[in-house]
Amino acid sequence: MFEIENFDLKLNTDFIGRNFIYVEEIDSTNTFLLDRRNGVNESGTVVLAEKQTKGRGRKDRVWYSSKEQNLTFSILLCKDYKLFNHLNLINFSASLAVANSIENLYQLRTELKWPNDVLINKKKTCGILLESSSQGNKIDRVVVGIGVNVNQSMFQGQFNFPPTSIRIELGREVEREKLLAEILNNFEFYLNKISSESNYITREWKEKCRMIGEKIYVKEGDVIKNGIFDDIDEEGFLLLRTKDGIEKITIGDVSIV
Ligand code: BTN
Q: Can you tell me the distance from the alpha carbon of 53 to that of 49, in angstroms, rounded to the nearest whole number?
A: 10
Which whole number is the average pLDDT over 65-73? Answer: 97
What is residue 25's predicted lDDT score, i.e. its pLDDT?
98
Q: Given a cut of 90, is residue 158 above it in pLDDT?
A: no
Q: Percent of the chain having pLDDT more than 90?
A: 91
Residue range 176-197, pLDDT digits in tens: 999 999 999 999 999 999 989 9
* Nearest protein Cα to ligand 1, atom 16: 145
What is residue 47's predicted lDDT score, i.e. its pLDDT?
98
Which whole number is the average pLDDT over 65-93? Answer: 95
Q: How far is CA 207 from CA 76, 139, 236, 254, in A?
A: 27, 30, 13, 17
pTM: 0.96
Tell me how far the alpha carbon of residue 246 lies from the centroid of ligand 1, in angstroms: 31
Tell me how far the alpha carbon of residue 60 lies from the centroid of ligand 1, in angstroms: 10
54 burial (CB, 10 Å; 0-12 / 13-18 / 19+) is exposed
The residue type of 238 is: L
Q: Can you tell me the distance from the alpha carbon of 151 to that of 137, in angstroms, rounded to the nearest whole number?
A: 41
Query: pLDDT band for position 94 (50/70/90)?
Result: very high
Which whole number is the average pLDDT over 139-150? Answer: 97
For the CA of 58, the nearest atom of ligand 1: 3
**72 in contact with ligand 1, CB cutoff 6 A:** yes
**91 in contact with ligand 1, CB cutoff 6 A:** no
Query: pLDDT band for position 156 (50/70/90)?
Result: confident
What is residue 159's predicted lDDT score, i.e. its pLDDT?
84
Q: Given a cut of 90, is residue 79 above it in pLDDT?
A: no
Helix H or strand E segment including 190: helix 176-196
Residue range 205-234, pLDDT digits in tens: 999 998 999 999 999 999 999 999 999 999
Q: Can you tell me the distance from the alpha carbon of 36 to that of 222, in angstroms, rounded to the nearest whole number?
A: 34
Q: Given a cut of 90, is residue 154 above it in pLDDT?
A: yes
Tell me how far the alpha carbon of residue 55 lies from the centroid of ligand 1, in angstroms: 6
**Which of 45, 54, 56 to probe ligand 1 with, by most ligand atoms within 8 A of CB?**
56
Q: How far is CA 167 from CA 147, 150, 172, 174, in A?
A: 15, 6, 5, 7
**Which of 129, 158, 187 to probe ligand 1 with, by most ligand atoms within 8 A of CB?**
129
**61 in contact with ligand 1, CB cutoff 6 A:** yes
- Do residues 237 and 205 lie in contact, with contact meaning Cβ atoms separated by under 8 Å? no
What is residue 257's predicted lDDT score, i.e. its pLDDT?
87
User: What is the rounded average pLDDT for all residues in the chain?
Assistant: 96
Query: pLDDT band for position 198 (50/70/90)?
Result: confident
Q: Given a cut of 90, is residue 98 above it in pLDDT?
A: yes
| Tally of residues, the chain | 257
